[in-house]
Amino acid sequence: MTPTYYLLLSALLFAIGAIGVLVRRNAIVVFMCIELMLNSVNLTLVTFARINGSLSGQVMAFFVMVVAAAEVVVGLAIIMSIFRTRRSASVDDSNLLKY
Amino acid sequence: MGTVFAASGVASASWLLLALPALGALVLLVGGRRTDGWGHLLGCATIALAFVWGLVLFFHTTGLPADQRVQNLHLWSWIPVNDLQVDFGLRIDPLSLTFVLLITGVGGLIHIYSIGYMSHDRDRRRFFAYLNLFVASMLLLVLGNGFVTLYLGWEGVGLASYLLIGWYSDRPTAATAAKKAFLMNRVGDVGLALGIFILFAKLHTTQFTEVFAQAHTLSGGTLTAVGLLFLLGACGKSGQFPLQAWLPDAMEGPTPVSALIHAATMVTAGVYLVARANPIFDLTSSGRLAVVIIGSITLLIGSIIGCAYDDIKKVLAYSTVSQIGYMMLAVGLGPFGYALGIVHLLSHGFFKAGLFLGAGSVMHAMDDETDMRRFGGLFRRMPITAVTFGLGYLAIIGFPGLSGFFSKDAIIDAAFRQGGWQGWVFGVAAALGAGLTAFYMTRLVIMTFFGDARWPELKTAEGKDYHPHEAKSVMTVPMIILAVGSVGAGAFLTLGHRMSDWLTPSLGQLQEHAAGPLSSTVVSVLVLGVSAIGVLVAYLVVARRAVPVQRPEPVSWPVRAARADLYGNSLNEVLVARPGQWFTGVLVFIDKMGVDGLVNGLAAAFGGTSGRLRRLQTGFVRSYALTMLGGAILLVAALLLVRFSA
């Protein structure tokens, strides 16, 4: 049971999340992909905490979870209000803020 | 130079000399139409009071011992900036007092004459305001105790002359003449300003007292440069070659203005400058030589052109050019001639003012006609004018006993006494000038006052008959006084070295060359002979046959050249105006393409680049995410590279 596998898994999860953010248009899916990336980072932090026998990584993971929870609240609220006004959850449709 | 004393007694109130005419100008200009009724009287009164005050100062100064006559009156600190300390003050000494009396005396007579001459002008009050301004500026020029104060007056004179030459501003010729005078004066002013800058750079002062005390510490090259730059300034203001062309054009102004410019103010400023800066010119023989050369060239040019003109005022104008040439020649001789130049300036002030006022009287009688070919036989119609004019004429040609005889012959004699080739060249030039002067002045007098009357058959510009008549007494009295001056001034000033002794505290002792190639008597006889030939030739040419009313064409090339001002204007145009325009064009081009190009190009480059960079902000969240990911990958790659390459 080497920690390397955990690292590989988290790298895989991060890659999936990143690709999801880049290729998917639905705001909810993009949002979930961001959560996936955050959690893969959490996994990495916990793994390194285990390897180094230090609690710092685990504490850091808790911080990330708190921030992620807060971000979900705000992010979902924004997506909801955009959907209500524009009848669309596609991230490509909301492109008004540009040059 | 002797010691300079602080002004005391009445001399400490010498600022009144400046304040009176300046106040007159101020009241007349600010008061506007309310002062129309009595403005001319105020204008005359301020000058008359200034003259009286000048006399008081004169007698105060003559009462002082000779070595205490140079007085300095500090009024206030004008420009106190670190190293540059310019004081506003007056220098009361024999030289400045001489000029003060000339300016206020002759200027005052011209003021009185103007009451009559300008009586038909709606704006006579404004005319007197400008005249007062002119006199005030000239007084500041001669009284200032530093080069900067002198420069202030110098520019004030330029401004006033511009306003007065362009008096008939509804005439395009007058407006052009005023601009020409102003611009050509600027050329000279640049020279004067640069000279002052050099003095300040080297000596850290511009006050006369300190500059003159330290002049000997300057290097020869610096002194020559300052001398030549001052000469340029003098050329501009005094109408000397090559900047003489504005002076005859300045005849567009009313005749009293011409008299004021030519006799009492303005053109004498150049001679004053050289005489005042005598401690500098004493030390630079090449600078003095340049002054002498310019003076000689100018006196010949002026007298040659004077022979060809038919316009009575233009002949007199070129006569001034030539007479100022004599003065420059004299002051260029250095310690041998400063006082001679000033003496000639004074006697010239009398007879030239008289001649101009006489010409004005003729014009006044002849409906502002200036063409001498339309005059003739005016002696009987206007005897006072003719007699006073005649006395001025005898004075200018150097008739024995009259002003010109004493003042001009002394200059010619001094020129001969230079010795060597210089003595011969400048002496002969000056003697030749005397002959030419006799010719053109005789021609003028005969064509105007004698011979057949040509005007009865002619009509005025408005198609009326001419009715020549003697002027009112307000005009004739100044002419009579000036005629008395023309007769007596020369003898009064020169006999017993009265004038040169009086000027010694300012100009140094008048030196005399022990001997020249010709003795004074021979020179005197020579000049008389040359002048007599000039008179005789003029008599033969003009008086013995009828004067054609239309000027003859075609004429021989010397006359053609003289009628074209000896190509002075063309010379200026080719040498100065065209290259100046070309140079300005090049500068504008460089400015547009180089300076503007650089600045505008830089701005355009930034603008264009940011306009293109702006397009990166597409508004698509996913492309931003891709950019961020790419950036993160790059960062990680860079970190890895650093870590594993070490």
Contact B618 A99 (CB under 8 A): yes
Q: Which long-range contacts (CB under 8 A, 24 or more apart) does B606-615 make?
A: B614/A99, B615/A99
Q: Are B336 and B511 in contact (CB under 8 A)?
A: yes
Selected residue of B621, B623, B624, B626 to mutate for chain A interface (largest A Cβ count, 10 A): B621
Residue B619, pLDDT > 50, answer yes
Set of chain A residues whose Cβ sits within 8 Å of the Cβ of B620: 91-92, 95
- Looking at residue B502, what is its pLDDT? 78
Q: Token pair for residue B249? A: 């054009």
Residue in B614, B618, B626 nearest the CB of A95: B618
Nearest C-alpha of chain B: how many angstroms from A99? 5
Residue in A21, A25, A99 nearest the CB of B614: A99
3-state SS track over B126-178? HHHHHHHHHHHHHHHHHHECEHHHHHHHHHHHHHHHHHHHCCCCCCHHHHHHH
Percentage of residues of chain A with pLDDT beyond 90: 71
In angstroms, rounded to a whole number, what is the distance separating the alpha carbons of residues B188 and B270? 10
Contact A99 B625 (CB under 8 A): no
Q: CB contact, 8 Å: A84 with chain B?
A: no
Residue in B617, B620, B626 nearest the CB of A92: B620
- Looking at residue B587, what is its pLDDT? 93
Residue in B614, B616, B621 nearest the CB of A91: B621
Contact A91 B622 (CB under 8 A): yes
3-state SS track over B394-412? HHHCCCCCCHHHHHHHHHH
Residue B180, pLDDT > 60, answer yes
In angstroms, rounded to a whole number, what is the distance separating the alpha carbons of residues B625 and A40? 18
- Looking at residue B109, what is its pLDDT? 86
Contact A22 B626 (CB under 8 A): yes
Residue A43, pLDDT > 90, answer yes
Q: How much is the average pLDDT of B454-477?
A: 77
pTM > 0.80: no
Q: How much is the average pLDDT of B193-207?
A: 89
Contact A18 B614 (CB under 8 A): no
- Looking at residue B243, what is its pLDDT? 80
Q: Chains A, B: CB contacts under 8 A, how many?
A: 33
- Looking at residue B516, what is its pLDDT? 64
Q: Are B180 and B249 in contact (CB under 8 A)?
A: yes
- Of the candidates B448, B425, B445, the residue with the CA atom closest to the CA atom of residue B299: B425
What's chain A's average pLDDT? Answer: 91
In angstroms, rounded to a whole number, what is the distance separating the alpha carbons of residues A54 and B441? 121
Q: Are B468 and B381 in contact (CB under 8 A)?
A: yes
Q: CB contact, 8 Å: A99 with chain B?
A: yes
Residue in A18, A25, A99 nearest the CB of B615: A99
Residue B459, pLDDT > 80, answer no
- Looking at residue B517, what is its pLDDT? 66
In angstroms, rounded to a whole number, what is the distance separating the alpha carbons of residues B412 and B431? 6
Percentage of residues of chain B with pLDDT beyond 70: 98
Residue B69, pLDDT > 60, answer yes
What's chain B's average pLDDT? Answer: 84
- Looking at residue A12, what is its pLDDT? 95
- Looking at residue B1, what is its pLDDT? 44
pLDDT in tens, B123-140: 888 888 898 999 999 999
Helix runs in B251-381, H state only: 255-259, 268-276, 278-282, 285-306, 312-332, 338-365
Residue in B615, B616, B629 nearest the CB of A18: B629
Q: Are B314 and B245 in contact (CB under 8 A)?
A: no
Set of chain A residues whose Cβ sits within 8 Å of the Cβ of B626: 22
A98: nearest CA partner in chain B: B619
Set of chain B residues whose Cβ sits within 8 Å of the Cβ of A16: none
* Greater model confidence, B447 or A33: A33
Selected residue of A14, A19, A21, A24 to mutate for chain B interface (largest B Cβ count, 10 A): A21
Residue in B616, B619, B625 nearest the CB of A22: B625
Q: Are A91 and A27 in contact (CB under 8 A)?
A: yes
pLDDT in tens, B256-293: 888 888 877 788 888 888 888 888 888 888 888 888 88
Percentage of residues of chain B with pLDDT beyond 90: 10
Set of chain A residues whose Cβ sits within 8 Å of the Cβ of B629: 18, 22
Residue B146, pLDDT > 70, answer yes
Which A residues 15-74 touch B at CB under 8 Å?
A: 18, 21-23, 25, 30
pLDDT in tens, B549-583: 777 777 777 777 777 777 777 777 787 788 889 99
Q: Are B470 and B381 in contact (CB under 8 A)?
A: yes
- ipTM, two decimals, is 0.86
Q: How far is CA B81 from CA B164, B196, B407, in A?
A: 35, 16, 45
- Looking at residue A1, what is its pLDDT? 62
B515 confidence band (pLDDT: 50, 70, 90): low
Set of chain A residues whose Cβ sits within 8 Å of the Cβ of B622: 21-23, 25, 30, 91-92
Helix axes B498-507, B473-494, angle to 10 degrees: 80
pLDDT in tens, B15-29: 888 888 898 888 888
In angstroms, rounded to a whole number, what is the distance separating the alpha carbons of residues B548 and B458? 12
Helix (H, G, I), strand (E, B) or coil at A53: coil
Residue B501, pLDDT > 50, answer yes
B588 confidence band (pLDDT: 50, 70, 90): very high
Nearest C-alpha of chain B: how many angstroms from A66? 23
pLDDT in tens, B214-224: 888 888 888 89
Set of chain A residues whose Cβ sits within 8 Å of the Cβ of B615: 99
Contact A97 B619 (CB under 8 A): yes
B615: nearest CA partner in chain A: A99
Nearest C-alpha of chain B: how many angstroms from A30? 9
Residue in B620, B626, B629 nearest the CB of A95: B620
Residue A56, pLDDT > 50, answer yes
Residue B71, pLDDT > 90, answer no
Set of chain A residues whose Cβ sits within 8 Å of the Cβ of B619: 95-99
Establish whether the linkage from the previous residue to B65 is cis, with ω within 30° of 0. Answer: no
Q: How much is the average pLDDT of B443-472?
A: 78
Percentage of residues of chain A with pLDDT beyond 70: 99
- Looking at residue A44, what is its pLDDT? 94
Selected residue of A31, A86, A95 to mutate for chain B interface (largest B Cβ count, 10 A): A95
Nearest C-alpha of chain A: how many angstroms from B646? 25
Set of chain B residues whose Cβ sits within 8 Å of the Cβ of A98: 617-619
Nearest C-alpha of chain A: how many angstroms from B625? 7
Query: A24-28, B78-82, B556-560: lowest mean pLDDT where?
Result: B556-560
User: Residue with structure tokens 């300003």?
Assistant: B193
Nearest C-alpha of chain A: how many angstroms from B634? 15
Residue B398, pLDDT > 80, answer yes
Q: Are B547 and B376 in contact (CB under 8 A)?
A: yes
Residue B332, pLDDT > 80, answer yes
Contact B618 A91 (CB under 8 A): no
A24: nearest CA partner in chain B: B622
Contact A95 B622 (CB under 8 A): no
Contact B625 A97 (CB under 8 A): no
Q: How much is the average pLDDT of B354-358?
A: 86
Set of chain A residues whose Cβ sits within 8 Å of the Cβ of B618: 95, 98-99
Q: In what order do the strands lie in the sheet with B71-81?
A: B5-6, B71-81, B84-92
DSSP for B245-270, please give it: THHHHGGGS-HHHHHIIIIISTTHHH
Contact B619 A91 (CB under 8 A): no
Q: How much is the average pLDDT of B522-548?
A: 82
- B→A contacts (Cβ < 8 Å), by residue, are 614-622, 625-626, 629
